[in-house]
Amino acid sequence: MKKIFSILLTVSLLIGISTSCKDDFLEVVPKTGLSESTLSNKAGVAYMLVAAYSLLDGVQTNVGSPNSDWHGSGDNWIYGEVNADNAYKGSISGDQPEISFIEQKQIQADNTHFRGKWRAVYDGVARSNDVIQMVGKVKDMTDAEKTSAIAQARFLRGHYHFEAKKMWNMAPYVDDKTYNSADAASTKLPNDKDIWANINDDLKFAYDNLPNRFAGEPGRATKWAAAAMLGKAYMFQKKFADAKTLFDAIVASGQFSLMARYHDNFRATTNNNAESIFEVQFSVNDGAAISNNGNRGATLNYPYSGFTTCCGFYQPTQNLVNAFKVDAAGLPLLDDFNTGTDVTNTTTENIDPRLDWSVGRVGIQYLDWGLMTPAYVRDISYAGPYSPKKNVPYAADISAGWTGNGNNPRFNANNYRMIRYAHVLLMLAEAEAELGNLERARTLVNQIRTRAANPDGFVKTTAGANAANYRIGNYTAAWTSKDVALQAIRFETRLELAMEGHRFFDLVRWGIAAPTLNTYYTVEGTKRSYLNGVRFTANKHEYFPIPLQEILNSALNGAPTLKQNPGY
């Protein structure tokens, strides 16, 4: 972890803030020679706050070195999806083997991807602390302005530590009082304490002190973003009543609603829509070097050829595709979705319409780029025939030439929806079920399914017909079993949020990672040879190893202050 003012702003702002967009609070003009004396004013705090937001995408200022753009990607495509049962690494076997090691549970502490994620989140922590420290030194801000800046910084600090907690469990918490950029020892903290209480405090402060919205500035954290993030943290801690209170407040606020069409959550022209609670902002044509603000963390995750130049990673699994099977009533096959015939691009059985907005299938319309062809996949024999879809831009959304890297559409302005209203409704349903309120839980899940059933949101053929036999229905029978209700909610969460970076962390917090993933490997190993024999080890693989280099860096008086996680 590092925090040096000359790096913080003369580098991070000069190359382009990673979450830069066209919102007012991010439209700042970079300046050279920024120092603490230059920054100790209202404008300086604004610069520093932008720098703290910039790490939300996980792409650091030293793009490509020593860690590649995707190592710390804010959408967690590697750690949340490839590490679970929703996605393969994709591409070919020899490309990015360190991701293959994660996918195959050959996980070692010297895998540089883990250090890349560590650096991203703790750089974010450092920048958040920078803001809080600097606010205490400025003279030209009102008390209200200072509170707002601190609340935003504490939201970000809470989020970055939340990421560390999900990844490593026993991760150190670094606050603004401990942290001193001039004293390297100030960050050599042990990871011997559970940091949930610290995360809760940061997010609670943000919830209590942020406004409902910042007019014209959708990239900023708001009261409701803090409520959703804190509620999610409570879900991880199994504090279901506390989480329910926050989620109920979000619903009661009336500020959010489900978009009429599911796929309008995944395109640039509908960024920051009515369903958005917190988004990581992306942009292009903004003057940043090498399209640095255009979701570089997902730079590998596009069709291999056709309208892109690379790379064929992040391919949806057959298990995920099969999860979209439905029965005659349009309900998911909770217990036996992965038995019988696999869903393919030519399947005629009934499927949930969200499949073809989450997964690219050969012969089916791929957004507005035309029908997907086998050329979209680099090696079908290695990782199957499917392509990712939610992170990809529409052709119609590219209205002008792209800057940098040969006008490459892989760098685009399609935001990452970190938390959307559908996610809140599903977490609220889960909390209600855990508390015994099964009928409210069923009603909430049915809201999600009713939106998905909107025929205006179905993928079409070139002739205007439905591209597949789409069918989706609501749960009409009363839920009388908590276990059955939770199974349905968890399944719905997988379908609704597929390929959005949450899957593995949900499996861990539900306590079902080992049985779910070992069942997955048993079947998927018969389809993907490199998964044959892979096993998830309980009480080890729920968390990743503390990066070896960070343990070495933590040494004080010849002994490391960081302790490795069990099993590594």
In angstroms, the CA 162 to CA 202 distance is 10
pLDDT at 472 over 80: yes
pLDDT at 358 over 60: yes
Percent of the chain with pLDDT over 70: 91
pLDDT in tens, 442-454: 999 999 999 999 9
pLDDT in tens, 264-302: 999 999 999 999 999 999 988 777 777 778 888 998 999
Half-sphere exposure of 479 (CA within 13 A, CB side): 27
pLDDT at 181 over 90: no
Distances (CA, A) of 347 to 285, 462, 479: 41, 18, 31
Instruction: Please tell me the CATH code under which domain 5-296+414-553 is placed.
Output: 1.25.40.390
Identify each DSSP E strand in 248-299 by its residue range: 276-280
pLDDT of amino acid 195: 98
Amino acid at 82: V
Contacts of 466 (CB under 8 A, 6+ apart): 455, 458, 459, 460
For residues 491-504, give the mean pLDDT.
98
Amino acid at 331: L
CA-wise closest residue to 199 among 156, 241, 228: 156
pLDDT of amino acid 351: 98
The alpha carbon of 24 is separated from its chain's Cα centroid by a whole number of angstroms, namely 24
User: Is residue 358 within 8 Å of residue 389, measured between CB atoms?
Assistant: yes
**Residues across the chain:** 568
pLDDT at 377 over 80: yes
pLDDT in tens, 307-322: 887 899 999 999 999 9
pLDDT band at 187 (very low <50, low <70, confident <90, very high): confident
pLDDT band at 203 (very low <50, low <70, confident <90, very high): very high
pLDDT in tens, 221-254: 999 999 999 999 999 999 999 999 999 999 999 9
pLDDT band at 402 (very low <50, low <70, confident <90, very high): low
Distances (CA, A) of 497 to 7, 163, 223, 267: 36, 18, 23, 15
pLDDT band at 147 (very low <50, low <70, confident <90, very high): very high
Range in 31-40, 283-292, 427-436 with the lowest mean pLDDT: 31-40
CA-wise closest residue to 8 among 175, 129, 117: 129
pLDDT of amino acid 253: 98
* Higher-confidence position of 547 and 397: 547
Largest CA distance in the chain: 72
DSSP calls for 357-413: HHEE-TTSB-TTS-B--GGGSS-HHHH-S-EE-TTPPPGGG--SPPPSTTT-TTS--
pLDDT band at 14 (very low <50, low <70, confident <90, very high): very low
For the chain, give every domain's residue range: 5-296+414-553
Range in 27-36, 104-113, 183-192, 195-204 with the lowest mean pLDDT: 27-36
pLDDT in tens, 414-426: 999 999 999 999 9
CA-wise closest residue to 135 among 199, 6, 48, 206: 48
pLDDT in tens, 40-97: 899 999 999 999 999 999 987 555 455 688 999 999 999 999 999 999 999 999 999 9
pLDDT of amino acid 18: 33
Contacts of 136 (CB under 8 A, 6+ apart): none
pLDDT of amino acid 35: 72
User: Is residue 23 within 8 Å of residue 219, measured between CB atoms?
Assistant: yes
In angstroms, the CA 221 to CA 212 distance is 9
Mean pLDDT, rounded, of the chain: 90
CA-wise closest residue to 337 among 83, 519, 104, 478: 519
Entry pTM: 0.93
Distances (CA, A) of 297 to 19, 68, 159, 375: 11, 9, 18, 23
User: Is residue 291 within 8 Å of residue 462, measured between CB atoms?
Assistant: no
pLDDT in tens, 151-166: 999 999 999 999 999 9
Separate counts of helices (H) and strands (E) for the chain: 18, 6
For residues 165-173, give the mean pLDDT.
98
For residues 520-541, give the mean pLDDT.
97
In angstroms, the CA 405 to CA 397 distance is 18
pLDDT in tens, 476-493: 999 999 999 999 999 999
pLDDT of amino acid 13: 37
For residues 499-511, give the mean pLDDT.
98
pLDDT at 19 over 50: no
pLDDT band at 400 (very low <50, low <70, confident <90, very high): low
pLDDT of amino acid 382: 97
Range in 14-23, 40-49, 95-104 with the lowest mean pLDDT: 14-23
